[in-house]
Amino acid sequence: MVSVASWNINSVRLRMPIVERFLTEQSVDVLCLQEIKCQEHQFPYEAFRKLGYEHFAIHGQKGYHGVATVSRIPLKEFSRHDWQDNGEARHVGVELTGPGQDMVIENVYVPAGGDVPDREVNTKFGQKLDFLERMTRWADAIDRPTLIVGDFNIAPLESDVWSHKQLLKVVSHTPLEVETLGKFRDAHGWTDIGREFIRDPDRYYSWWSYRSKDYRVGDRGRRLDHMWASPDLAKMATAHHVHEDARGWEKPSDHIPLVTEFDL
């Protein structure tokens, strides 16, 4: 049995108290973090080692973005893709070398894409689409069982957002983004593990904005975080957990952790 978690942590240094709480309570084998907002040398390695997590693949940068895969199972880092071609730290790929041997885990932080869903007036939106298209070309060539997790910054289904109608022109839920993410899915035949366990049209959110006093009011959430697996690997998934309570913890991230368990 191998369990893998994904969590956009919005500064790993500031968030260590709730990371410790999560790891102590859930005891996952591998934790994939996005938005660590620090450089490799600033990463809180010791705090993780004390909890039994001694294997790391960190791709950081100063102040923004950054991803980290932390594990109590030995791993080997084997790739850092720059699908935006601008030097931002948004991906790290590892291969487990202990239990769950040969499993590949890709940890990705897709660009948010700015406010205006038009690449002519908003460069960031174009960069987001370009990132997804380069990732799609990469996925087309994958030839081993792979799990890709992270903050995709897209909520593809109507049941992934609090109001489909009100978010149709909001970056993260526009038809163009959903179509572009659909091409990525089709390039490898990914299985959306979250939706295998919480079927459409059931409500499933992983993010609530900080820009309201109480995230519970109106429940204006979106499912921006995902765990997608190669078809054969997806068949080995035995459970999926959405830790919504973490949004209400002390000094929370605006995203919550997702966990998938595999019988390998």
Residues that bind DNA (CB under 7 A): 10-11, 13-14, 37-38, 62-65, 111-112, 114, 124, 153, 210-213, 251
Report whether 66 contacts 35 (CB < 8 A).
yes
**130 a known binding residue?**
no
- Judged by beta carbon, residue 100 or residue 117, the one nearer DNA is 117
Q: Which helix (H) or strand (E) holds 223?
A: none
Least distance from C-beta 251 to DNA, angstroms? 5
- Judged by beta carbon, residue 172 or residue 230, the one nearer DNA is 172
Least distance from C-beta 119 to DNA, angstroms? 14
Least distance from C-beta 189 to DNA, angstroms? 28
Least distance from C-beta 231 to DNA, angstroms? 30
**202 a known binding residue?**
no
**255 a known binding residue?**
yes
Least distance from C-beta 37 to DNA, angstroms? 4
Query: Catalytic one among 53, 109, 205, 215?
Result: 109
3-state SS record for 87-112 = CCCCEEEEEECCCCCCCEEEEEECCC
Query: Catalytic one among 151, 204, 215, 225?
Result: 151
Active site residue 109: yes
**10 a known binding residue?**
no
Active site residue 55: no
Q: How far, CA to CA in Å, does 121 sit from each of 81, 85, 110, 171, 190?
A: 27, 20, 20, 13, 32
- Judged by beta carbon, residue 155 or residue 237, the one nearer DNA is 155
**153 a known binding residue?**
yes
Active site residue 255: yes
- Judged by beta carbon, residue 82 or residue 261, the one nearer DNA is 82
> No. of H helices and E strands in the chain?
7, 14
Contacts with 83 (C-beta within 8 Å, 6 or more apart), sequence order:
90, 91, 130, 131, 132, 134, 135, 138
**Alpha-helical runs (H) found in the chain:** 16-26, 45-50, 123-139, 164-167, 175-188, 193-197, 231-234
Beta partners for residue 7, in sequence order: 33
Omega of the bond leading into 175 within 30 degrees of 0 (cis):
no
- Judged by beta carbon, residue 112 or residue 157, the one nearer DNA is 112
**35 a known binding residue?**
yes
For β-strands 258-262 and 2-8, DSSP reports them as antiparallel
Report whether 154 contacts 173 (CB < 8 A).
yes
User: Could you give the residue numbers annotated as active site?
Assistant: 109, 151, 255
Task: Please state the residue numbers annotated as binding site.
Answer: 8, 35, 151, 153, 254-255
Task: Please state the residue numbers annotated as binding site for Mg(2+).
Answer: 8, 35, 151, 153, 254-255
